[in-house]
Every structure is written in structure tokens, then in C-alpha cells.
Amino acid sequence: MADADRKDTQEQAEFRAYCRDWLTNNKPGQPPVRIPLGALELSDPAALQWLQVWQKSAFDAGLVGCDYPVEAGGGGRNNCQTIANQEMQRAKTPFFPNIIGLGMAAPTVLFHAQEDTKNALLPRLFSGEDIWCQGFSEPGAGSDLANQQTFAEKRGDSWVINGHKVWTSLAHFANWMILLCRTDKADKYNGLSYFVVPIQTAIGKGVTVRPLIKLTGETGFNEVIFEDLVVEDKYRLDAVGAGWKVAMTTLSHERGAGQLVTPSAGGMTQDNTKGANTSSPSALIELAKTSYRNGKTAADDPLLRDEIIKIMIRQEAFRQNQRRALVPALIDHPMRIPLQNKLIGTEFNQDLAEIAYDIQGAASSLYLNDENAPGGGEWQLAYMNSFGVTIAAGANEVQRNILGERVLGMPKSK
Amino acid sequence: MADADRKDTQEQAEFRAYCRDWLTNNKPGQPPVRIPLGALELSDPAALQWLQVWQKSAFDAGLVGCDYPVEAGGGGRNNCQTIANQEMQRAKTPFFPNIIGLGMAAPTVLFHAQEDTKNALLPRLFSGEDIWCQGFSEPGAGSDLANQQTFAEKRGDSWVINGHKVWTSLAHFANWMILLCRTDKADKYNGLSYFVVPIQTAIGKGVTVRPLIKLTGETGFNEVIFEDLVVEDKYRLDAVGAGWKVAMTTLSHERGAGQLVTPSAGGMTQDNTKGANTSSPSALIELAKTSYRNGKTAADDPLLRDEIIKIMIRQEAFRQNQRRALVPALIDHPMRIPLQNKLIGTEFNQDLAEIAYDIQGAASSLYLNDENAPGGGEWQLAYMNSFGVTIAAGANEVQRNILGERVLGMPKSK
Amino acid sequence: MIEQPKNFGFGEDETMLRDSAKKFFSDHCSADKLHRQVAGNPDIHRNIECIWDKGLWQQITELGWTAACVPEAAGGIGMPLVAALALAEEAGRAAFPSPLISTFNTTFVLRECNSAAANDVLAEIAGGKPMSLAITNQQGSWEPTDTDVSIDKGQLNGTAWFVQDARKAEGLVVSARSAAGVGLYYVAADAAGVAIAADGIIDLTRDQAHISFTGVTAVEVAAPGAGDVALAYALPAIQAVIAADMVGAGEWLLQTTVEYANTRVQFDRPLGFFQAVKHPLVNVMLDIDRAKSLAYSAACAIDSDPERQEWANTVKLAHMAKANASDMAVFASSRAVQFHGGIGFTWECYVHLFFKRQMHNQMLFGDARYHRAILADMLIGQAA
Amino acid sequence: MIEQPKNFGFGEDETMLRDSAKKFFSDHCSADKLHRQVAGNPDIHRNIECIWDKGLWQQITELGWTAACVPEAAGGIGMPLVAALALAEEAGRAAFPSPLISTFNTTFVLRECNSAAANDVLAEIAGGKPMSLAITNQQGSWEPTDTDVSIDKGQLNGTAWFVQDARKAEGLVVSARSAAGVGLYYVAADAAGVAIAADGIIDLTRDQAHISFTGVTAVEVAAPGAGDVALAYALPAIQAVIAADMVGAGEWLLQTTVEYANTRVQFDRPLGFFQAVKHPLVNVMLDIDRAKSLAYSAACAIDSDPERQEWANTVKLAHMAKANASDMAVFASSRAVQFHGGIGFTWECYVHLFFKRQMHNQMLFGDARYHRAILADMLIGQAA
């Protein structure tokens, strides 16, 4: 389904033309270093910096935050972010590095922060000058998110925070964190509050960021430890005790089920970034045509052909699901498709990369540090990384609970 | 794996020779009517009668109950039932009709009944003269077996039984029932007691048997309603309140995990019984070689070939599991393999028959009443019937709980 | 690049038609009533029957359902294919016994014939005459060029197999081979030389037959060499409509099973508490949504592209829709029976009606593996 | 009909050997120690290393492991193959970094060569010399007749790919083609003209290389035309041994994940309470048991049938064992990471060591689909 296969409003059509024009004349060029598959895999500061420059130029051109209010640095448009996203995809631009800021922090700040805080933070968030991270997970609060132990204590006009966050992607680069924590130990859900916290300026002064190493060998996420960090009350979002409600705004956007469309660029092929595009079945077909498995071309194996087609059907269905989700006459429950997206998307990527193992046969043993690895070893890396997302943001087991309970109306499983 | 691929004890070797000799000289001959796939599908009295004659002749020859005590009608041998079973399988005999008697009632009666009751009941059970059924399931007690509502009240020396049993296979033919019921409403597990009940003689006098129709259109199981049925106390097994423990003896044998090997004949090919042997991958291959699917021979389709091989691997693994289960050095937990058998066996049959649908293509629409149906439509019948066993005797969801809890030591899921 | 409507072309008219279908089925075709109608005789060796309610068919035709997708030029309403899909989806949700789907499929084929004779038949369909296709050979091939019927000197001879709703149809479109290729021919179901031999099928909501033609005089609706082309052009619409029927039936199975799981208590909890029940049902839902999105996108692609400029994309979407829907149909049926437990295994539980319809649907016009194999050749290229 | 022992031939000697292996690994190769040993440098672009403990290898050879399956005539102990399986299973359970499996595989090939030269090499294996096979071409073919190495005038030229434990092996058995067919040749790993180019592999417990031979003088252990035959006869043993390694590693993954699920609390319950965790782990167990039963039955069939009277059955069992074990390895690994949650995604959690070994194992000597395709030709017959 091509981008233009939609009928635009007049505002959208004009904006689309503008975007296309701007993107034609403002190509980000070749990166000076290897760009990873996504923002969550960023570990090289040089890669980050190059991507930040790109995000800022896109923001300055009005392609980021299009539907946000003007006073918060947005474009004040209606349903135009999706147009900008389509055009950036079409132009095969690099992705935006401030993914957590754009996808989770921005809508949460918009809907729940005080006016001053909002207008102070959002422009630098959109431009990518500030990188954001998310302080939700804790050693004892993974899928059971409400089990927060990090504690914020009110002292005078400020809050003093102590606790331990884990799996914090991008914390090693982040200026700001969205933080869910406990303010009342007596009430699991109503005892939570939500803050935005300037962490980079506080490193060594109540904040410690320690890198965690993934099973792939990459860094990219972190532990963040708070020891008597003092945070001003103006950085609290919504009421004390309303943290769970605010977190739901964050999570609904994370799951693609929020009110606002996340600014997202991408589509730059891995040809440009020195590796395979491991989220694309077309790239898998290319791999199959050039890989030998047990001495034969993998693309000729009827069983692997069937696996590839199965996954292509899932990809096409995912696209058509997004399209149908916008047609009220053809959906029974407004959240039925949006709440599926995280589950479907992450399992798609996992299964796609798993097929690549069988396609490569013996060569699937090879990794990024082997010059003979098909596709540079990126498929194996992608398979391992795929578990990050089937686990994170509510493991997929929890996503299935959510769908069964909220959409199908079944009783809670816990 | 052929039967002889085992080293027999001397007793076993002699008994094997005896069985083989007897079976060579005592062939049951051709049935006069269609014999269904298994005893639980019996609905034609003529088929039952023919099978009863066969069971009695096998019992008279000493091939049934070989390892039971002589005074209970058994052969008093050691580990010889498995030899008789192998030889009956090899001789492709018909199955035994009294399957619930042999597989569930007999060991339960042996281990828990009073001596007189035991010796009175078992010989006619082994001979097949008495057919047995099982009164466990109720409308509100399926997988949750302990939720029994049928109530037995002690009045003088007897018990008065009221309640409603369902899914009772063979009740329409049965003389006896093993009955689990409640004797104390205050204690879920310790409030159960276990009886053997002569139901056929009580029909119209406290017992009503009503046929239930399966989704296949076949009859074969029933509702049994008790209204003030009076049962003598000698028919109680084990103590009042010990019903759950007694039921575990029944269930462990039903799951193939009991102390005693169930007498079982079988292997008579469906060629002799006017239909396909729908529990055999070889028969599936025959079907594939003679079926057209979308205009092509199904056996040439690489995807169906792979499905057939997958199921053949499961079949071979099941056989080799049984063999390994008897080698203490190669098993970690004594119940690990036996407790898998019900689950694996029933899903094997379901998946086997499901493949037959794709093999037959358009002709999979045809049923037993169509002369052009491949394999006489028996595969479609087998697929539908397969749900009977993935549901019955503790749905497979419950079987997986049992394995996770008893073998892997995981916490209870309920 | 063809511009497609944002809403799949599913506008107010289509929504009204669909909503009236919903009301029609809820008024006239409850599962309870359906069971009394078609499941009266469970006997496994019963005589082969053909049970449907012609009165309801009359009402349907008056509501314009058969005319919906007949072009205006042929006396129909000329609605887009997505309208037929909505009707098929509702029919599937009710497991409706009728020749509706067969008549739709015949419509799609005739629309591709571009002949006056075809338009005459289309006009009869618009007027409410039920029709079916007799285009499948004994080996169950869905290829447009395969047929066991031949035509010579205007007379049909041979047998067509797996004809759907054969005893409900009043007219048949038959594919037949001559030296010049495969053509399509119209015959009345009661014409001389037409012998309908009913099949004993599992699905209680349909009838099926093999039909032998012995010197049957027929009207040519597509010339030899043009008939298989017309069939090929109609196949994506046929696949999408059957997928929609499966989506409707799948949704009935899902919702009915969810309802049962929410009320049936075991171990002091409703079944739906247990993830062993909940998660597979969520997977059924995912499968249904995929199938539905693909089916409507295929239909919309057909509707949006009358010149077939992007025909390969249309064909792809339709194969994907049928493949996905077939797998879904098997899975949804199997889980519905399993999670209904003992009651699901009985004739009195309505689940079996839908189970059997889905197993029939999944093979109709090709099962999932068949469509994926075609897609593999399209999207990966022929294997060496 | 060959009579097979009831206990798979797994008697007292084999049990003792296995139990001593269990003790050895528990004393010397805890997961904790292993991680410190092989996972010191997580850098994704790290230099290619080959980490193993030669001291432990020395102990193993003293315990007689390498001699176990060398025939007595060649200076070995002559134990049945099931003994090697038990050692492989324990090695897999410890994810033991060593050339044990490669040396076993080389032993199985040399046993089929029936030459004095082969027996000389077997004697060296019995004495503790680690060996490996260089028999795979660049296209990763597992067929005995495929090789990229040629031999002419007693000299090897060409490259062998995917050589396991290449930098641990002191000797290599190389398959090479000449006009007369494929033969097998022994060369010392440090012979002139042998260039070992290490591969950057994911599995941290192995090393792998492609090895080029330039005018290397070699000792013939199987003549041209006999080498591929010897390889074909050795393959079932090789497949069974690798399956056993996977069974051991799978069991470690299962038990470790069960333990984690029983202690990790979420939503006020241990994870293992949830059927979404419990049932997949039960499925992992079923898969492991299938693979284990098939592997030991294949080994027992080889042990029981030296004359190869029922060779087709042996070949079948070995293909089944490897196919089942490969699928199990992928599934068990994937569920172990998933159910360990965030911690399972970290380098510090030992699960990744086994995950990576299993993904390597699953392709080694053919993945599941490869073996099933061969079985299809054997058991169904060639497709038209």
C-alpha cells in the first residue's frame, strides 16, 4: 500500500506536497559511522549526534510535532504528523534518535504537565536537542508495573527520590527522564505519582547511570540509581497519587493506541547503513536468494518459501489493520486493533529474524565480527534483539491479558 | 520398533510363545457389521456383542488380566499383560469392548474394594460379560473433578444416591459404573466417596440413562440420572471420604501412569472393518498417495509431506518414550513420561486427522454418507471425534497443569 | 498509482446495507432457529438433504442483495464489492444456509464475461434467481483451465464436481473445454440432460453435488479461450467473499466462546481467568482481524482498479486474504470446540454448525497452503 | 529382526561413566564459572577468540572419554554409542567448551574407514588427542559427497568450511575429491600449508573456522570412493550425539527457567502460576523428552546392528532425533530468554550462553527442515 493510496484532506494534501518538496531538497546524506537498527540500540555518541542534527533539521522544517500546539513548539496542524511520517518513510530518511521523548514523553507532558513546564520542555524534545528516557521498570516491577518501589518523599516544596530503575534505554545519553514512582506505600495503584526529571544535570548529584549489557553484547540500556535526588514540584505531572493514570497515557501511546501520532522517520535502507534491513521480508527474500543452506539456494526450498510468505501475509495484514482501524464502520471495538500492535509488531520481527537462521544454514553461526556473515550478521543480531521488545513495555504475555480483558471482556488473570 | 525388539524374561518369553500360538489358531474372523474406531464409539449392539465374544475368548485363553491375582480371575503372572498386548497388536485383533472396565475399573477395584466384591466383579469384567462405565463427569464438574454434586446419603446399611452424571461413555450398554460422589458437603476433597454401582439392573428403579449425541452425529455417550438409587455398602471402595484418593488410582491408570498395564487388544486394520485406520500415519500416507488436492496428488506437495513427517516423528518419539520410561538410568522423574501420554496421544490423533483435511482438498467436504469420500469419510469423523479425548479425562489444559506442577514442581495455577 | 478511498469504499450506503443485514439475521436466523432448521437429524448415515428457507431468500432478493453487485447496465445496483463482503460476513456470522455466496460468485464470473448473454443472466440474478458455478473437476482443481466437462456442437458432456448449493441454484455457469479452449456456458438447473447427484457433506448449512451433463444444450456466456480468463479475473473477488464469510463465522465462534468462558466456572473461577483459555482466544481474535483487513483491502483494490493497472497487487491481497482466513477458520473452530469442553462436543451445542461450515469454507477455492504456494511463486519467484 | 536390549544398552558401565561426567561438570564447570571463562568480553566487535581449558581436557582424557568409543582393536575401550551420548548430554547441560563432540564425530568417521591408517589416528584419539572433521563446503552442505577440497598426487588443495573446534583440534580428517571419488585424509592441524582462518561466531562455547589447504601432504584414511561411504555410515552417530548435546542444554534451559519462574514474583504470584508461562515450559519438556528418546533409540539401533541389517531404520531414527532436537533447541532457548524477562535479555544472565550454543547446534549437520525433507523421501517416496 503506497502512501498516496489515501485521500488527504486539503490541509494534508498541501502539507504532503510541502514535506515531499522539503525532503527532496534536504537529504540527510551519508552517516559517518554505522547507524544501528533503531534508536534503542544507540551506543556510539557519533551516531547519536548525526541523528540529532537530522532530527533538528526536520523539526525546524515543521515535520516533527506537527499536530501539537504552537505554543509548545508544535505545528498546530490537524492530522498532519501521519503525513510527515509517510513522506519521511518514502524518502527513506534516518530514524529519529529521541524515540522515547517523541513517542512517550511528549503526549504525556502535553496532557498532564503544568503549562510552563510543557512549553519549556517540548520544543527541545521535538528538536532532539534533549534526549529522553523512561524510568518505569524496576528489578521487582517488570510486567507488574504498579509494583513500583522507587519512592518520592515530599520535603517542603520539593521531592526527594530514592530507588533503582532498570532496562532504561538511552539513559546514558538522556537529559530527561519520565519517572513513575511511589508516593504512598499503602495503596498499590493510587499510591503512585509521575515526574519528569532532569537526570543528566544530576549525574553524580543523586543520579547514577550504569550501563547494562544485552545478551547480544551491545550496550544501550542502563540501571539508574536515585539517592536523595531532589526534584522541584513543578516537574510533577498531574496530581499526587495520579501516577497510574498518567502512566496509562504513556503506555497507550507506546502501544500505538494513544490519541497522538508519534513523529517517526525511517526507511533508510541498511544498504546505506552497512547492514541488512532486518525488519523487511523483502530483505529476507534477498537473503534467501543469496544464501546457501545445506548446499542449495535457500529461496528454492519450498518450506522456507512458505515461511517467508506466511510472514509477508502478517506484514500486509498489519498494514491493512492500521488502515481499517481508521474506518469506524469496519471495526467493532475502537481499541481492538491499536492494542494489538505492540504484540503483533514485536512477534513479527522475532519470527522474521528466526527464519533468517534457517535460510542461512551453517552460515547462521556467524556474527557481526565475521566478514563472511550473510547480511553482515545483522539478522542474528536482530533475532536476539527481538526479545528485548517481546519482553519490554509489558511482556507479550501481559499484552495478551490486556487484549483478552479490555477488548474481549474476559476476567482478569491475576 | 517391532515387538520382539525387547529382551523378555523367561516367563515372558514362554508366555509370548503361548500367546502367539493361541492367536494363530484362534482368529476372531470377520465382523458381521461395521466396527467403529474404538470402544468409546460403540453404538451398534451387534458390534458390541461380536466384540464381547472375542474378549471372552481371549480371557478364557488367559490373555486378559494376566498380572492380576488368580482368585480375582487373573493369571497371576508377572509383567505378562504387556506381552499379551504386544502379541494381540501383532496379530491385528479387534479391540476389547470393555475398555473402561479394563483400564479404569479393574485396578481401582483391585486396590480398593473389599475382598468379596473384588472377586465377584473382576472375572466378569475381564471376560467382557459385564461392561463398565465411569460416573465422574457432571455438568459442573468437568476438568474440576472434585466439584462433585452427586450426593450419597447413608441410610441404615445402604446409601441413597441422587445426582446427574454426563459424558458417560458406554452407559447405554453398561452393567456397572464406577461412581465418584459427595458424602460431605463441607469438604471439597475429603467429602468424596467412591462406589461401584450396578446400573443396568437399576434402570427404571432410580437410574435413567439418556443418550447424548456427539457433534459427529454419533451416539455413544450419555447422561445418567440418579433418583434415590439404593446401593449396598459393600459396593463402597475404601473409606467414606477417601473417594478422591481412590479416584486418583483410576485416573493414574487412565493416564497410562498406573501400576498395572491395561489389557488392550487392537491393530485390526480398518480394511477389515470397512474404513481407514485414522490413528496411523501410514494410512495418512496412503491417503495422500491416492488423494488429489487442487488437482494434484497430495503426496507430492512438499508442505504436506513435511506435516506428515512431523507427525511420524511424534509417533516414533511416543514409542521410544514408552521404551525409555522403563529405563531408570535414562529418566529423571518416574512420572515424567507416563503423565505425558494422555496429552501427547490425544493431540497426536487430532493433528493427524487435521492433516487429512488438507490432503483431501475439496473432497474433505465429504462424510460417511458419501460414496466418493476418501477413506470412507472416516478421517473427518476421526478429526471431530478427536476433540472428545482432548477434552475428556481432564482437558489437555489440565494435563499441562498436572505436568507443570507434579513433574516440574511449578506452583498450582488455580 | 491508483488512489484508493480511505474507508475501503465502505460508505454510508454500504453501512446501511450491512446494518440491515445484521438486523435481518438477528430477526430471522438465530443460532437456535438455525439448529432446529438444519440439525434435526443427527444420524451419521442419514439421507442427504438440502435444507433452506426459500421464504428468506425471497426477502433477501427484495432487499436487493443479489442485485447489489450486478452492474447497473445489467439491471443491478452496481454497488462495490465491499458491499458483498459485508453481506457475506453477516451471512457467515449467521451460518446462513442459502445460495447467496454461490450467487455472488456466479455474479463475479459473469461480470467478467462482457457478453450480452452474460448480461442476460446477470439480470436474472438481479431479479433474485439463485445461481452457482460448475467449474471444478473431480480432482478438486481450482485452476480456471481445469474442467472435466467438454463442449462440442453447442452441447455439454461430462461431470462438474464440488458444485456449491447445487440443489438451491436455478441456473449454472459451467466451464467446458473444446479444441479452442475453455469457455463458459449457462444452463438452467432443470435442463434436459443435467443430472444433479447430491454429495453427503459434513457442513449442515450448505449442499454440494457433482453434476453430470449429457448432451446438454447450453448458452455461451464466454467464448472458448475467454472463459478461463473470465474465471481468473473473478477469482480474487470470490476468494475475498469466502474469506469474509469465514471472518463472520470466526467472529461468532470467538464471541460465543468468550461468553461461555466468562460464565462457565471451574476451580472456582470462570474459565476465561485461565490464560490457557484466554490467550488462544486472543490469538483467534488477531487471526480474525488479519483476515478481515486483508479481505476488505482485496475487495477495495478490485473496486478501485477497474482497469486492472495494479492487478498483481489485487491478486496478491486476495490470495493473502483467503490463506489467512482459511487458517483462522480451522483454528477458531478447533478452539471453540475445545474451550466449550464436554458441551462443545455435543450435537446440541450450536458450535458444531459453525465448526463444520468453517472446515468447508477453508478448502473452498483453495486452502491456505495452496494460496501461499501461489504467492511464493509471485513474490519470491519460481523455485529452481 | 535385530534384538535390541531393553535398556538401550545403557547398563552399569554406561551409568557409571555418565555419573562421573555429571560429577566432573558439577565440580569444574558451573554456569557461573563458565560465564567468567568465556564471556569476559561482550564487545560485539571483539576479536575472535578461542577459549577453553586444556587442563580439563587433560582430565577428560584421563577419565577415558575420548577412548570410550574407540574400538578396542584400535586401543580404545569399545563402549557402545549410548555412552558417548550420555557424555554429550552432560557436556551440553554444562555448555562445555571443548573439542569433545568434534573428537567423537571424528571417531565415528574413522571407525567406518576400516584402514590401518584410520586405526592409527583412532589410537591417537584414544590417547587424548583432540580432532575435528573438515568435510563441509562453502555452501554449508552436509552431503558426504560435497567438498571444496581436492586431492591430487597426495596433496590437498582447497578450503573446508564450518570446521568445528578448529583451533582446539590437533588433527583434522579432511574430505577431498579426486577423479576417483571422495576420499578421507588425515593431516596434523599444524602441518605446512594448513591455514586456519577463525570465524566470528555467536556461540561463545565453541570455535569454528574455514581452513585452506595449499599443497598439503596428507595421509589417506579412506580411499577415493570410500570416503563418502564412510561419512554416510558415520552420520547417524554424529546426528545422535549432537542431538544429545541439545537435549542436555535444553534440560538446563528448562530447569533454570522453571526455577526462575518459581521464585520471580509478579502480580503477587510466582510467574510459574501463570499458564502463559507454565504451559509453554511443559511443551519444552515434551520436546526434550521426544528428542532424548529418539537420540538414544538411534544410538541403540547403531549399537545393536553392526552388520547394518536394519540400516534404514537406524538412519530414520537418527534423522528424527536431529530434526526433533533442532526444533526443541530453538524453542527451549527462545522461551528461556522470554520467561527470564528483562534479566534474560542481559549478558550477565547465563541463559544466553545456552541460547547461543543451541542456535549453533540446531544448524550443525542440518536443521530440522533438512532432516525432515530427507525423511519424506525415505518414508513417503520421492515426490513427482
Q: Which of A87, A223, A254, A378 is catalytic?
A: A254
Nearest Cα residue to D185 out of D237, D134, D144: D134
Q: Residue D263: pLDDT band by 50, 70, 90 thresholds?
A: very high
Nearest Cα residue to C317 out of A322, A345, A320: A320
Distance from C-alpha of B378 to C-alpha of A89, rounded to nearest angstrom: 54
Nearest Cα residue to C254 out of C321, C336, C331: C336
Q: Is the pLDDT of residue A362 over 90?
A: yes
Instruction: Among C139, C267, C275, C338, pick the best mutation site for testing chain D contact (most D Cβ within 10 A).
Output: C275
**For residue B278, what pLDDT is reported?**
83
Return the HEC string of A287-350: HHHHCEECCEEHHHCHHHHHHHHHHHHHHHHHHHHHHHCCCHHHCCCCCCCHHHHHHHHHHHHH
Burial of C53 (0-12, 13-18, 19+ CB in 10 A): middle
Q: Residue B260: pLDDT band by 50, 70, 90 thresholds?
A: confident
Distance from C-alpha of D165 to C-alpha of D191, rounded to nearest angstrom: 17
- Spatial contact of D187 and D172, defined as CB atoms under 8 Å apart: yes
Q: How confident is the model over A55-79, as pLDDT tens digits?
A: 999 999 999 999 999 999 999 999 9
**For residue D253, what pLDDT is reported?**
98
If one compares C342 and C213, the residue with the highest pLDDT of the two is C213
Comparing alpha-carbon positions, the chain D residue that sits nearest to A215 is D347
Q: For residue B161, give the 3-state DSSP assignment.
A: strand
Q: Is the pLDDT of residue C267 over 90?
A: no
Phi, psi of C197 (to 5 degrees): -105, 110
User: Which grid coordinates are listed for D102?
Assistant: 568434534
Q: Helices C31-38 and C351-363 sit at what angle, rounded to 10 degrees?
A: 80
Rg of chain D in Å (alpha carbons): 21
**Between vectors from CA C40 to CA C39 and to CA C44, what angle results, nearest 5°?**
75
A303 touches chain C (CB under 8 A): no
Q: Is the pLDDT of residue A277 over 80?
A: no
Count the neighbouring beta carbons within 10 Å of the beta carbon of residue D78. 15
User: Which grid coordinates are listed for C361?
Assistant: 469454507
Distance from C-alpha of D328 to C-alpha of D287, rounded to nearest angstrom: 6
If one compares B64 and B38, the residue with the highest pLDDT of the two is B64
Q: For residue B93, give the 3-state DSSP assignment.
A: strand
Report which secondary-structure segment, H or E, holds C183.
Answer: strand C181-188
Looking at the complex, report in whole angstroms how far the Cα of residue C203 sits from the nearest Cα belonging to chain B: 7
Q: Which fold, B132-242?
A: Butyryl-CoA Dehydrogenase, subunit A; domain 2 (2.40.110)
DSSP string, C245-288: HHHHHHHHHHHHHHHHHHH-EETTEEGGGSHHHHHHHHHHHHHH
- The residue assigned the cell 464469510 is C245
Instruction: Among C297, C316, C369, pick the best mutation site for testing chain A contact (most A Cβ within 10 A).
Output: C297
- Spatial contact of C97 and C206, defined as CB atoms under 8 Å apart: yes
Report the first-to-last Cα separation within chain D, whole angstroms: 32
Residue type, C119: N
Residues of C in contact with A2 (CB under 8 A): 1
Domains of chain C from N-terminus onward? 12-129 (1.10.540.10), 132-224 (2.40.110.10), 228-379 (1.20.140.10)
CA distances from B68 to B16, B122, B130 (A): 17, 9, 17
CATH 3.40.630.10 fits A3-127, yes or no: no
- Is the complex ipTM more than 0.90? yes
CA distances from D83 to C42, C187, D122 (A): 58, 74, 17
Q: Any idea how long chain D is? A: 384
Which residue ranges make up each domain of chain A? 3-127, 132-242, 281-407
- Nearest CB among B288, B305, B324 relative to D296 is that of B324
**For residue A392, what pLDDT is reported?**
77
Nearest Cα residue to C295 out of C52, C25, C82, C75: C82
Residues 53-82 of C with CB under 8 A from B: none
* 8 Å CB contact of D262 and B326: no
**For residue B275, what pLDDT is reported?**
54
Taking every pair of C-alpha atoms in chain C, what is the biggest distance, in angstroms?
Answer: 73
C177: which strand partners? C150, C182
Q: Tell me, what DSSP letter sits at residue A227?
A: E
User: Which grid coordinates are listed for A323?
Assistant: 488502515
- Taking residues D265-292, report their average pLDDT: 96
Q: How confident is the model over C305-330, as pLDDT tens digits?
A: 999 999 999 999 999 999 999 999 99
* 8 Å CB contact of B365 and C162: yes
* 8 Å CB contact of A340 and C286: yes
A256: which strand partners? none
**For residue A273, what pLDDT is reported?**
45
Nearest Cα residue to C322 out of C241, C230, C222, C217: C241
Distance from C-alpha of B165 to C-alpha of A8, rounded to nearest angstrom: 64
Residues of D in contact with C274 (CB under 8 A): 275
Mean pLDDT of chain B: 91
Q: Is the pLDDT of residue C144 over 90?
A: yes
CATH class of B281-407: mainly alpha
CA distances from D291 to D240, D253, D259, D320, D323 (A): 9, 15, 22, 8, 8
**For residue B305, what pLDDT is reported?**
98
* 8 Å CB contact of B330 and D272: no
**For residue A77, what pLDDT is reported?**
95
Ranges of H-type helices in A155-266: 243-254
Nearest Cα residue to B288 out of B309, B271, B272, B273: B309
Q: How confident is the model over A159-197, as pLDDT tens digits?
A: 999 999 998 989 999 999 999 999 999 999 999 999 999
Span of A263-267, C352-356, D271-275, D296-300 with lowest mean pLDDT:
A263-267
Q: Residue C279: pLDDT band by 50, 70, 90 thresholds?
A: very high
Q: Helices B378-391 and C311-344 sit at what angle, rounded to 10 degrees?
A: 60
Looking at the complex, report in whole angstroms how far the Cα of residue A334 sits from the nearest Cα belonging to chain C: 13
What subunits touch chain C, counting only 3 or more CB pairs under 8 A?
A, B, D
Comparing alpha-carbon positions, the chain A residue that sits nearest to B302 is A302
Residues 89-128 of D with CB under 8 A from B: none
A209: which strand partners? A224
Residue type, D349: C
Q: For residue A43, give the 3-state DSSP assignment.
A: coil
- Taking residues B256-267, report their average pLDDT: 82
Rg of chain B in Å (alpha carbons): 22
User: Which grid coordinates are listed for B338?
Assistant: 507416563
Return the HEC string of A261-289: CCCCCCECCCCCCCCCCCCCHHHHHHHHH
Distance from C-alpha of A105 to C-alpha of A177, rounded to nearest angstrom: 8
Size of interface C-D (CB pairs under 8 A): 9
- Taking residues A242-256, report their average pLDDT: 90
Q: How confident is the model over B355-384, as pLDDT tens digits?
A: 999 999 999 999 999 999 999 999 999 999
Q: Residue B268: pLDDT band by 50, 70, 90 thresholds?
A: low
* 8 Å CB contact of D279 and C276: yes
Distance from C-alpha of D66 to C-alpha of D17, rounded to nearest angstrom: 12
Q: Is the pLDDT of residue A3 over 80?
A: no
Q: Tell me, what DSSP letter sits at residue A374?
A: G
Q: Is the pLDDT of residue B353 over 70?
A: yes
Burial of C247 (0-12, 13-18, 19+ CB in 10 A): buried
Identify whether A254 is a catalytic site residue: yes
Q: How confident is the model over C33-57, as pLDDT tens digits?
A: 999 999 999 998 889 989 999 999 9
User: Which grid coordinates are listed for D315?
Assistant: 538412519
Q: Residue D2: pLDDT band by 50, 70, 90 thresholds?
A: confident
Phi, psi of D163 (to 5 degrees): -80, 125
Q: How confident is the model over C220-250, as pLDDT tens digits?
A: 999 999 999 999 999 999 999 999 999 999 9
Distance from C-alpha of D338 to C-alpha of D264, rounded to nearest angstrom: 13
Q: Is the pLDDT of residue B38 over 90?
A: no
Q: Residue B6: pLDDT band by 50, 70, 90 thresholds?
A: low
For A29, residues 6+ apart whose C-beta sits below 8 A from its C-beta are none
Q: Is the pLDDT of residue D3 over 90?
A: no
Comparing alpha-carbon positions, the chain A residue that sits nearest to C19 is A329
Count the neighbouring beta carbons within 10 Å of the beta carbon of residue A87. 23
**For residue B265, what pLDDT is reported?**
85
Q: Tell me, what DSSP letter sits at residue A412?
A: P
Q: Is the pLDDT of residue A270 over 60?
A: no
Q: How confident is the model over D64-97, as pLDDT tens digits?
A: 999 999 999 999 999 999 999 999 999 999 999 9
Nearest Cα residue to C328 out of C364, C288, C278: C288
- Spatial contact of B228 and B278, defined as CB atoms under 8 Å apart: no
Comparing alpha-carbon positions, the chain B residue that sits nearest to C268 is B414
What subunits touch chain A, counting only 3 or more CB pairs under 8 A?
B, C, D
3-state DSSP helix/strand/coil percent for chain C, to nearest 5? 55, 15, 30
- Taking residues D321-334, report their average pLDDT: 98
- Spatial contact of D183 and D219, defined as CB atoms under 8 Å apart: no
Q: Which of B87, B218, B223, B254 is catalytic?
A: B254
Q: Is the pLDDT of residue B78 over 80?
A: yes
| % of chain C at pLDDT higher than 70 | 100
Q: Is the pLDDT of residue A258 over 90?
A: no
Mean pLDDT of chain C: 97
